[in-house]
Amino acid sequence: MRVGPFQVQVRSDRAPLTVEDWRRRAHRRVPRMVWEYVENGADDESALRGNRQAFAAWSLRQRALAGIAEVDLTAKIAGRS
């Protein structure tokens, strides 16, 4: 598969990385009746609605490179900068 200028190989044997990856994997492996019960929040979907509202209150904050005041992009290759 090509993504922009890159050739990407997707491996299905890797562990799922995202919630959506886990959902797709579960959908393939769980009996249909069980999947529909869980996916649709059962009966009136009040638990599903409550869960989505609770998760919406949270967000992930990226902390990569936190606390770096000055960026230095120099690199040494074969002992030279």
Q: Domain extents for the chain?
A: 19-43
Q: What is the DSSP letter of 6?
A: E
Q: What are phi and psi of 32, to 5 degrees?
A: -55, -45
* Prediction pTM value: 0.41
- pLDDT single digits (tens) 44-79: 777 778 878 888 888 777 667 667 778 778 888 888
Which residue type occupies 9? Q
